[in-house]
A and B are shown apart, each in its own frame.
Chain A
Amino acid sequence: TQLLEQSPQFLSIQEGENLTVYCNSSSVFSSLQWYRQEPGEGPVLLVTVVTGGEVKKLKRLTFQFGDARKDSSLHITAAQPGDTGLYLCAGGRNTGKLIFGQGTTLQVKP
């Protein structure tokens, strides 16, 4: 059973376009984290959101946690080739264990 459904799984866009990645669940999480992973490396944390309705911005990236703390989104404005990579959402519970989505492979073409 996949507790976190991430979509889309693959995304190929041109430089300058906007995109949104979604992470949905029927379960409530105490936190939601977004990671980015490059080939041959481990995931690197981008942001953690913990409050329902919370919005965080990191340069051209905007992260939102749903009001019910069951879903989240990542929006990238004016994507650049350097944004290419695997984006992973992960839901946390008080045990510290993370439940990961399937990942979104993003390719930004120059």
Chain B
Amino acid sequence: GAGVSQSPSNKVTEKGKDVELRCDPISGHTALYWYRQSLGQGLEFLIYFQGNSAPDKSGLPSDRFSAERTGGSVSTLTIQRTQQEDSAVYLCASSPRRTSGDTQYFGPGTRLTVL
């Protein structure tokens, strides 16, 4: 595909369950970013990958959050023991390189609702 894709588009889960969110970046993009967005608000940085390594995990809210990237391509964000405050839209973006000023191309997001 031409753009960043994310799945699922919507996820409703019960408090305490684990969830996995998937991101397929644009082919060839080495940098991949995860953000979280509350309703109508700005984006909160979570983690970024350069290739398969994650030099900056500073935005992960707690140790219930983890992410990995394999083959320099697909990334998975995992939230364990979900809480209601985890409800948000999780956005993934990719860019050709990891430099300031590079355009980040965003996927449509996964809307997570924790009941």
Contact = CB atoms under 8 A, between A and B. Distances in A.
Interface of A: 4, 6, 29-31, 33, 40-45, 48, 50, 86, 88, 90, 92-103, 105
B56 interface: yes
B107 A42 contact: yes
Top 10 closest pairs, chain A to chain B, by CB: A42-B106, A100-B42, A96-B98, A92-B100, A31-B101, A30-B100, A100-B43, A102-B42, A103-B42, A31-B100
A44 B108 CA distance: 10
Given A88-B43, A103-B41, 18 more contacts: A6-B42, A40-B108, A40-B109, A41-B109, A42-B4, A42-B91, A42-B107, A45-B105, A50-B100, A86-B40, A92-B101, A95-B56, A96-B97, A97-B33, A98-B104, A100-B43, A101-B42, A105-B40
16 contacts: A42-B91, A43-B106, A45-B105, A88-B42, A92-B101, A95-B98, A96-B33, A96-B98, A100-B35, A100-B42, A100-B44, A101-B42, A102-B42, A103-B40, A103-B41, A105-B40
A99 B101 contact: no
A90 B108 CA distance: 18
